[in-house]
Amino acid sequence: MQPATAKPLYIRMHADDNVAIVANRGGLHPGAEFSCGLRLVEQIPQGHKVALADIGEGEAIRRYGEIIGHAAAPITRGSWVKEALVRMPDAPSFDNLPKPNGGAIKPPPLEGYTFEGYRNSDGSVGTRNILAISTSVQCVAGTVEFALERIRKELLPKYPNVDDVVAVTHAYGCGVAINAPGAAVPIRTLQNIARNPNFGGEVMIVGLGCEKLQPELLLPEGMSADDEIMRMQDEGLTGFGEIVEDIVQMADARLKILNQRRRETCPASTLVVGMQCGGSDAFSGVTANPALGFAADLLVRAGATVMFSEVTEVRDAIHLLTPRAASQDVADALVREMSWYDRYLAGGEADRSANTTPGNKKGGLSNIVEKAMGSVIKSGTSPIAGVLAPGERVSQKGLIFAATPASDFVCGTLQLASGMTLHVFTTGRGTPYGLAAVPVIKVSTRSELKQRWHDLIDVDAGSIATGDATIEDVGWEIFRLMLDVASGRETWAEHWKLTNALALFNPGPVT
C-alpha cells in the first residue's frame, strides 16, 4: 500500500508523450510537485492524465508515442487532461498501411516447458476434462439445466476423473434467418465449441425438433446424428420425466468414456491460450497488458498458440499490426476483419467510440484510441501468424488475431470456439468474470485491486507501477502460472465456481 506521504509520481510511456498518468494512490492535490519540477494546478485522480507541457487548442495529445486525440481547448502544463478536452481523431485509414517487413521480433525457441494435460485423438490437448451438453435452441435450456442438476448429483460422484458437466446454452436457433450470411457466425461458433479440446471429443446435443437451427448442423463432420442427438419432440418419450431420464442416460454413457482420461506430460506447444482485457483502466497498458504480452512471447517461443482479439480495441492500432504480419496475406486478413467490423457498426448506426465504458473513463481512459493503444500491448512483439474470422477454429501455432467483439462474454465465447483451453484476463477496475469450460486467470493492473480482491485476482501486475517488479518478472510469473493452471491448479474463479453464460455473436437478422 502506498503511503499518503509518498512523493508525487507519474508514468510517461514514450519520450514524445506530452501527457502522463498520475501513479499515486488516491491521486494528487493542487501544488503537488514532481521531481522534474512539474507542479499540479488542480487535483488529478490516480490513473488520469496530467499535461507535461502547454498544449494549444487543436494540437495533438500524445500517449504511447501515438496521437490519442487533439486538444478541444488550450490545456495548461500541470493541469488535468480531462475526457472533454480530448477530441478523438478519425480512425486510421486502411490505405497505405505499413507492409509486413520482417520487423517483428523473432526470438529463439524456448524449450523444455511442459504441463500435465489431456491428449485427444485429433492431436489437441485439453487442460480440463469436461462433458459439454450442447443445445440447438433456447427452448430446451431449462430442461437441460434441470437434467444437469441430476447429472452433477447422481453421476459425477461415480466418475472422479471428470471435472464437470456444462450446458452450452444460448439464445439462438429459433426465429432466425438461418440462411443469411451473418448466420454463419453463430452456427460455426456452436459447431466449434462442441469440438473444444477440454470436452474430449464427446459430443452430445439436445434439440427440440422444430427449430431453424437443426441439431445436425452442430455435429462435427463424420458423426452420426442417431448417436449424438436427442430431440425432445421426436423421441416418442412420455412426459418430462422420461425426457430428462434420456438426457441423463446419454450423459452417463459419455461420462464413462471421459472418466478413462488421465493427465499426461505434454509440451507447452500444445497449449491454446486466449487473452482478453475487461474493466480496463489507464494502468492496463502500463502493467498487466505489457506483462501478458511478455508471457505471450514466451508461449510463442515455446511453440504454443496464443490468441488476442477485440476488434474495436485494436482497430486504432492497425498501423502497428500490419508490419508484424507474417505475410501480406495475413496483413490483408487483418484489414478484412477491421473493415468488416467498421461496416457492421455503421449498419447499427454506431462507430468504435461506443466501446469505451463509464468504468474505463473513471479509470483514466479518455477514448477508444487511448484504450486501444494499451490493449494491443498484450499481443507482445511476436509476428502475427494468422487471422481468424469470428468463431473459426484455430489450426496453426504462433500469435493469432481472432476477430471478436470487445464484449467480455462474446469474446470469451468466440475464443472458446476457436479452441482456447486456457484464458488470461487482465482488469483494472475488477470483474468476477469466469468461464465454465476453461480456467480463467485474472491479472490486476493495480496493487490496490489485488489487495481489495485478494481472493479473486490471481496475479498482481501493479507491482510494475510501484517499481517492485519488472514487466519481465510478472511476465514470467504469468507464464509459469499458466503451466500450473493447465496442469490442474485452480484459479480463484474456479475455486468460487464463478462462471458467466456464453453469449453468441449473431450479426444476422432475427425474423
- Residue 241: Cβ within 10 Å count: 9
Instruction: Identify which of 332, 340, 424 has the alpha carbon closest to the alpha carbon of residue 387.
Output: 332
Parallel, antiparallel, or unpaired for β 384-388 and 272-277?
A: unpaired
Contact assessment for residue 380 and residue 103, using Cβ atoms and an 8 Å cutoff: no
The string of pLDDT tens digits covering residues 62-73 is 999 999 999 999
Average pLDDT over residues 91-101: 94
Q: What is the model's pLDDT at position 157?
A: 98
Strand partners, 306: 273, 399
The answer to whether the beta carbons of residues 168 and 193 sit under 8 Å apart is yes
Work out the average pLDDT over 417-432: 97
Cell of 165: 458437466
What is the band of 280 on the pLDDT scale with cuts at 50, 70, 90?
A: very high
pLDDT class of 101 with cuts at 50, 70, 90: confident
Average of pLDDT values for 87-104? Answer: 89
pLDDT in tens, 330-343: 999 999 999 999 99
Say if residue 4's pLDDT is above 50: no
Q: Classify 209 as helix, strand or coil.
A: coil
The answer to whether 23 and 9 are in contact (CB under 8 A) is yes
Q: What is the pTM of this model?
A: 0.96
Q: Locate 161 and state its grid cell.
A: 476423473
Check if the beta carbon of residue 447 is closer than 8 Å to that of residue 460: yes
Split at pLDDT 50, 70, 90, the class of 296 is: very high
Beta pairing, strands 10-11 & 440-444: unpaired
**Cβ neighbours of residue 41 closer than 8 Å, sequence gap 6 or more:** 30, 76, 77, 78, 79
| Grid cell digits, residue 6 | 509518498
Residue 102 class from Cβ within 10 Å (0-12 exposed, 13-18 middle, 19+ buried)?
Answer: exposed
**Residue 456 CB: number of other CB atoms within 10 A?**
22
Q: What are phi and psi of 451, to 5 degrees?
A: -65, -40
d(CA 70, CA 135): 49
Q: If you average pLDDT over residues 80-93, what whole number do you get?
A: 96
Mean pLDDT (the chain, rounded) = 95
Range in 35-49, 71-85, 161-175, 213-227 with the lowest mean pLDDT = 213-227
How high is the pLDDT of residue 2? 43
Q: What is the CA radius of gyration of the chain?
A: 24
pLDDT above 70: residue 235 = no
Contacts of 483 (CB under 8 A, 6+ apart): 113, 114, 115, 268
Q: Say if residues 373 and 293 touch (Cβ distance below 8 Å).
A: no
**Which residues, 6+ apart, have CB-to-CB distance to 399 below 8 Å?**
296, 300, 306, 308, 379, 380, 382, 383, 384, 385
The mean pLDDT value for 217-224 works out to: 79
Confidence of residue 107 (pLDDT cuts 50, 70, 90): confident
Q: Give the pLDDT confidence score for residue 364 in this predicted structure.
A: 97
Q: What is the pLDDT of residue 103?
A: 58
Q: Which residues contact 279 (CB under 8 A, 6 or more apart)?
A: 359, 363, 427, 428, 429, 430, 431
Question: Confidence class of residue 221 from pLDDT cuts 50, 70 and 90?
Answer: confident
Q: How far is CA 340 from CA 144, 292, 404, 417, in A?
A: 36, 28, 11, 20
Identity of the residue numbered 257 = I
Q: How far is CA 15 from CA 6, 18, 62, 63, 65, in A?
A: 24, 8, 10, 9, 7
Q: Alpha-carbon distance 329 to 440, whole Å?
A: 32
pLDDT band of 22, cuts 50, 70, 90: very high
**Cell numbers that stand for 30 in this block:** 493542487
Q: Which cell is 42 given? A: 488542480
**Model confidence pLDDT, tens digit, residues 498-509:** 999 999 999 999
Interval 485-493 mean pLDDT: 98
CA distance 42 to 119: 59
d(CA 292, CA 433): 18
